[in-house]
């Protein structure tokens, strides 16, 4: 590149970089700063408290509760959308016109905002006339009908299920793309060697889907860590914190209890966890790429 | 026409628009306002008040940035903290206002109060809602009181004609309703605050209003025997099966619907429920009626819990004079009557003719005039404490048997908030 093109490149990059610094880097650094204060998010005066906010987490039952729920969500995110997406992709791969219709149907939830998905599932879980309870009553299982979102033992799982509905669609699309990349000869060769369908899936298709799987799992985990909207619409972390994840807990502390300093400390923890996941993702995807080069 | 000419024409047009706009702006002053009356009824009535204000004051123009009720709570604090506040905003009197006052973000309105002799029109019982640290910061707009709203047809069908004034009478009525196959009490505690009214009355009527105020201020403990007695009294009602099951699954409007549909007999709610019912075509006195929370211990003072909605002016408001002009307009008897009727609220001033009220709201107004007014739970204690308390009420409605453990947890929050 010549000097002039460098200048032009710098000029064109300056604007997005400025936007990035103003809206990502600066807020990030300021929440690091506020995590060391007792700011209530509102007062002009606040004190520097060192690491007190981080110490508080160790004894805060609500924090360990939120960490536990985040962990449950992450594990569920690895299992449900990945398994469901893989199963759908295998069933719908190369099955002609009807499969395409089904693919579009399963893909549709991606077109919806998570807030809308939350609202739809609110109706599905509605205790009196919601789809689930109405179905249970119609098939004679009214004993199982529950106020799903009002019970602490069900609320979190109910929200995760709603969230997985969209995440599974995303996984399915990535796996479908991965499947088209698998050379047909390999599968045929396995077929001729006498491998049945499940052996072909286990020994040939799934290993060859490794690059897609890394993307699917990483996206699911990252999306689970940042999930807030669907939870906000459906339970707001309730009843009584039973469905709090870290993001919701952070919001509650910052904006409901006006502990902006503590809320920022939670945000820092959430950021570090997400950063660790992303680091693992980059390492894995680099390895997978090397494997297939 | 060439592109150049078209562009030139458009530019001239834009410049003319800009200058023209600036001239109009110079003649008119904006008053930016944020309020939480964003439901169809509230917004309609509020807009009507803005229209009469603008007609009387052509020099001002109202810029309405109203927000949804739950979003409002966060949004207003963010705009104030970001030094980008409206000129005036609606706010709940009590702990929420205290919080903003303590951060030095509000304009004192004591001079405004005195200059306009507001002592003459705002009842002495309501005035405490306006005063913080000795100064006026919140100008009352309306009052809501909390009591039982019931379905007279359901009561009649169960053979109940007299509403109870004693606790024994209340229990007997619930038993009669239950025997008739009706759920006595609807409660929609999905958003938690509707359950707080039960706690308010239980504490005020078993331990007294003074004890309750001490508890709200962090001067008494949640695991005191007084609060345990209040919870035990509440638990007797849940144990007897008087509440519609799964209160935490429903919003307060669901509970209102259950009463309106006859699925439940009554609900403990603020007078704003009348606005909701009127909006759904119910007729006051025929489809719904009111009775105050029955006294539990007759030796304790009779109170009513409720809400005062008011207006606050940010310290850094760009147009405080406009805000004050609007405040005066809001307090005229005509505006107050329009607002009370449109919103299903009780007027904050005493010069509104009570004959404008529906028979149900008149009962509420007469009751308010006789008893001591106390703010509801989440407006009486600091926001972080209220968060812990509301949580406790939701826990209680899910499983009342563990209330002692919930009280200990609430006290742990109180220790944290008030300093042990």
Q: DSSP readout, B45-114?
A: HHHHHHHHHHHH-TTEEEEE----HHHHHHHHHHHHHTT---SEEEEETTHHHHHHHHTT-B---HHHHH
User: Rounded to whole angstroms, how far apart are CA atoms A155 and B249?
Assistant: 11
Cα maximum dimension of chain A: 78
Query: How much is the average pLDDT of A193-201?
Result: 87
Q: In chain B, pLDDT over 70 holds for what percent of residues? A: 93
| B18 domain-assigned | no
Q: In chain A, pLDDT over 70 holds for what percent of residues? A: 99
- A255 to chain B: which residues are within 8 Å by CB? 73-74, 77
- A252 to chain B: which residues are within 8 Å by CB? 387
Residue of chain B with shortest Cα separation from A126: B249
| B300 domain-assigned | yes
Structure confidence at residue A1 as a pLDDT band (50, 70, 90): low
Residues A229 and A114 sit within 8 Å (Cβ to Cβ): yes
pLDDT computed for residue B302 by the predictor: 93
pLDDT computed for residue A289 by the predictor: 74
Q: Indicate the pairing of strand B264-270 with strand B135-136.
A: unpaired
User: Rounded to whole angstroms, how far apart are CA atoms A35 and A47?
Assistant: 11
Tokens of B75: 């949004």
Task: Indicate whether B255 and B367 sit together in one domain.
Answer: no
| B4 domain-assigned | no
Structural domains for chain A:
1-25 (no CATH), 35-292 (1.10.3720.10)
Q: Indicate the pairing of strand B303-312 with strand B139-150.
A: antiparallel
Nearest-CB residue to A44 (from B77, B103, B247):
B103
- B384 to chain A: which residues are within 8 Å by CB? 257-259
* Cα torsion A278, A280, A282, A285: sign: negative
pLDDT tens readout for residues A134-193: 999 999 888 888 889 988 999 999 999 999 999 999 999 999 999 988 888 888 898 898
Task: Indicate whether B111 and B71 sit together in one domain.
Answer: yes
Task: Indicate whether B254 and B281 sit together in one domain.
Answer: yes
State which H helix or E strand residue B131 sits in. Answer: strand B131-132
| Of A215, A206, A207, A202, residue with least CA distance to A171 | A215
Tokens 């936007």 correspond to A19
CB atoms within 10 A of CB A156: 22
B192 and chain A in contact, CB less than 8 A: yes
Task: Indicate whether B256 and B153 sit together in one domain.
Answer: yes
| Of B225, B383, B254, residue with least CA distance to A258 | B383
Task: Indicate whether B294 and B350 sit together in one domain.
Answer: no
Task: Indicate whether B149 and B103 sit together in one domain.
Answer: no
B321, B322, B325, B326 alpha-carbon torsion, rounded to 10°: -140
Structure confidence at residue A292 as a pLDDT band (50, 70, 90): low
Distance from CA of B249 to the nearest CA of A (A): 5
A179, A183, A187, A193 alpha-carbon torsion, rounded to 10°: -160
Residue B1 CA to its chain's centroid (Å): 62
pLDDT computed for residue B19 by the predictor: 56
Structural domains counted in chain B: 2
Residue B7, pLDDT > 80, answer no
**Across all residues in chain A, what is the average pLDDT?**
90
Residue A111 CA to its chain's centroid (Å): 16
What is the residue range of B89's domain? Answer: 32-143+307-375
pLDDT computed for residue B10 by the predictor: 61
Predicted ipTM > 0.95: no
Structure confidence at residue A203 as a pLDDT band (50, 70, 90): confident
Residues A224 and A73 sit within 8 Å (Cβ to Cβ): yes
- Domain with residue B56: its CATH number is 3.40.190.10
User: Rounded to whole angstroms, how far apart are CA atoms B310 and B128?
Assistant: 12
Task: Indicate whether B97 and B172 sit together in one domain.
Answer: no
pLDDT computed for residue B6 by the predictor: 62
pLDDT computed for residue A256 by the predictor: 83
User: Rounded to whole angstroms, how far apart are CA atoms A200 and A196?
Assistant: 6
| B8 domain-assigned | no
What count of CB pairs under 8 Å joins A to B?
A: 58
Q: Give B34's contacts (C-beta < 8 A, 6+ positions apart).
A: B65, B66, B67, B72, B75, B76, B79, B86, B89, B90
b or e along A124-141 (b: 16 or more beta carbons within 10 Å of the residue's beta carbon)?
Answer: bbbbeebebbeebeeeee
pLDDT computed for residue B192 by the predictor: 92
User: Rounded to whole angstroms, how far apart are CA atoms B216 and B220?
Assistant: 8
- A40 to chain B: which residues are within 8 Å by CB? 103
CB within 8 Å: B398 and A151: yes
User: Rounded to whole angstroms, how far apart are CA atoms B235 and A214?
Assistant: 52
User: Rounded to whole angstroms, how far apart are CA atoms A158 and A123?
Assistant: 12
| B16 domain-assigned | no
Query: How much is the average pLDDT of A237-258?
Result: 90
| B22 domain-assigned | no
Task: Indicate whether B396 and B332 sit together in one domain.
Answer: no
Span of A130-144, A214-228, B10-24, B339-353 with lowest mean pLDDT:
B10-24
Task: Write the DSSP symbol of residue A108.
Answer: G
Task: Indicate whether B221 and B204 sit together in one domain.
Answer: yes
Task: Indicate whether B285 and B391 sit together in one domain.
Answer: yes
CB within 8 Å: B100 and A258: no
CB within 8 Å: B246 and A43: no
CB within 8 Å: B387 and A40: no
User: Rounded to whole angstroms, how far apart are CA atoms A43 and B214?
Assistant: 26
Tokens of B296: 């539990």
- B263 to chain A: which residues are within 8 Å by CB? none
Query: How much is the average pLDDT of A76-103?
Result: 89
Span of A88-97, A255-264, B404-413 with lowest mean pLDDT:
A88-97
Q: Indicate the pairing of strand B183-186 with strand B131-132.
A: unpaired
Residue B20, pLDDT > 70, answer no
Alpha carbon separation from B153 to A190, A244, B158 (Å, rounded): 76, 42, 9
Task: Indicate whether B183 and B261 sit together in one domain.
Answer: yes
pLDDT computed for residue A132 by the predictor: 93
Residue B21, pLDDT > 60, answer no
Query: How much is the average pLDDT of B197-221?
Result: 95
| B189 domain-assigned | yes
Query: How much is the average pLDDT of A17-35?
Result: 94
CB within 8 Å: B103 and A43: yes
User: Rounded to whole angstroms, how far apart are CA atoms B108 and B329?
Assistant: 19
| B25 domain-assigned | no
Q: Give B132's contacts (C-beta < 8 A, 6+ positions apart).
A: B97, B98, B101, B138
Q: Is the peptide bond before B374 cis (omega within 30 degrees of 0)?
A: no
**Across all residues in chain B, what is the average pLDDT?**
90
pLDDT tens readout for residues B246-257: 999 999 999 999
Task: Indicate whether B105 and B221 sit together in one domain.
Answer: no
Tokens of A148: 């799903």
Query: How much is the average pLDDT of B199-209?
Result: 96
């Amino acid at each position: 590149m010549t000097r002039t093109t460098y200048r032009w490149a710098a000029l064109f990059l300056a604007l997005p970089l400025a936007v990035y610094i103003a809206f990502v880097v600066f807020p990030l650094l300021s929440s690091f700063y506020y995590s060391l204060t007792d700011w209530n998010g509102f007062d002009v005066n606040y004190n520097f408290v060192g690491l007190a906010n981080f110490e508080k987490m160790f004894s805060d039952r609500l924090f360990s509760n939120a960490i536990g729920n985040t962990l449950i969500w992450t594990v569920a995110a690895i299992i449900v959308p990945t398994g469901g997406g893989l199963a759908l992709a295998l069933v719908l791969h190369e099955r002609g016109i009807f499969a395409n219709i089904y693919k579009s149907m399963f893909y549709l939830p991606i077109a919806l905002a998570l807030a809308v998905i939350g609202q739809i599932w609110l109706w599905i879980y509605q205790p009196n006339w919601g789809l689930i309870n109405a179905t249970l009553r119609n098939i004679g299982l009214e004993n199982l009908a529950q106020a799903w979102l009002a019970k602490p033992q069900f609320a979190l799982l109910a929200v995760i299920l709603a969230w997985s509905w969209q995440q599974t669609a995303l996984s399915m699309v990535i796996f479908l793309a991965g499947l088209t990349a698998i050379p047909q000869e390999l599968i045929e060769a396995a077929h001729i060697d006498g491998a049945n369908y499940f052996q072909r899936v286990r020994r040939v298709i799934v290993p060859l889907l490794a690059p897609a799987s890394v993307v699917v799992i990483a996206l699911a985990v990252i999306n689970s860590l940042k999930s807030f909207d669907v939870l906000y619409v459906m339970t707001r972390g309730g009843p009584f914190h039973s469905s709090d994840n870290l993001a919701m807990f952070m919001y509650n502390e910052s904006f409901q209890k006006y502990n902006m300093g503590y809320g920022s400390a939670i945000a820092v923890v959430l950021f570090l966890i997400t950063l660790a996941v992303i680091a693992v993702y980059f390492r894995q995807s680099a390895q997978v790429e090397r494997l297939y080069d | 026409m060439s592109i150049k000419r078209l562009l030139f024409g458009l530019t001239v047009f834009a410049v003319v628009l800009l200058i023209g706009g600036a001239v109009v702006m110079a003649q008119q002053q904006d008053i930016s306002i944020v309020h939480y009356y964003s439901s169809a009824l509230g917004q309609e009535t509020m807009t009507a008040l803005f229209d009469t204000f603008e007609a009387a004051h052509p020099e001002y123009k109202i810029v309405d940035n109203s927000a949804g009720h739950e979003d409002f709570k966060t949004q207003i604090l963010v705009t104030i903290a970001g030094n980008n506040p409206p000129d005036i905003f609606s706010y709940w009197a009590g702990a929420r206002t205290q919080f903003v006052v303590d951060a030095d973000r509000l304009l004192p309105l004591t001079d405004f109060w005195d200059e306009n002799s507001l002592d003459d029109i705002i009842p002495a019982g309501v005035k405490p809602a306006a005063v913080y640290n000795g100064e006026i910061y919140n100008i009352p707009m309306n009052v809501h009181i909390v009591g039982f709203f019931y379905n007279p047809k359901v009561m009649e069908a169960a053979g109940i004609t007299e509403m109870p004034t004693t606790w024994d009478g209340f229990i007997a009525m619930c038993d009669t309703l239950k025997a008739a196959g009706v759920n006595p009490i609807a409660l929609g505690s999905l958003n938690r605050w509707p359950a707080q009214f039960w706690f308010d009355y239980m504490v005020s009527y078993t331990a007294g209003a003074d004890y309750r105020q001490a508890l709200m201020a962090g001067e008494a403990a949640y695991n005191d025997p007084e609060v345990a007695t209040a919870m035990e009294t509440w638990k007797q009602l849940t144990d007897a099966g008087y509440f519609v099951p799964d209160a935490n699954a429903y919003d307060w409007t669901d509970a209102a619907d259950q009463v309106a549909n006859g699925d439940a007999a009554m609900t403990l709610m603020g007078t704003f429920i009348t606005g909701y019912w009127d909006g759904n075509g119910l007729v006051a006195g025929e489809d719904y009626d009111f009775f105050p929370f029955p006294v539990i211990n007759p030796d304790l003072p009779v109170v009513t819990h409720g809400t005062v909605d008011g207006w606050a002016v940010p310290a850094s408001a760009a147009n405080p004079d406009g805000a004050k002009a609007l405040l005066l307009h809001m307090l005229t008897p005509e505006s107050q009557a329009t607002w009370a009727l449109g919103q299903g609220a009780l007027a904050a001033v005493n010069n509104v003719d009570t004959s404008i009220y529906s028979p149900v709201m008149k009962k509420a107004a007469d009751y308010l005039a006789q008893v001591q007014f106390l703010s509801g739970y989440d407006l009486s204690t600091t926001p972080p404490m209220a968060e812990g308390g509301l949580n406790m009420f939701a826990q209680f409605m899910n499983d009342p048997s563990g209330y002692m453990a919930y009280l200990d947890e609430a006290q742990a929050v109180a220790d944290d908030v008030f300093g042990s």
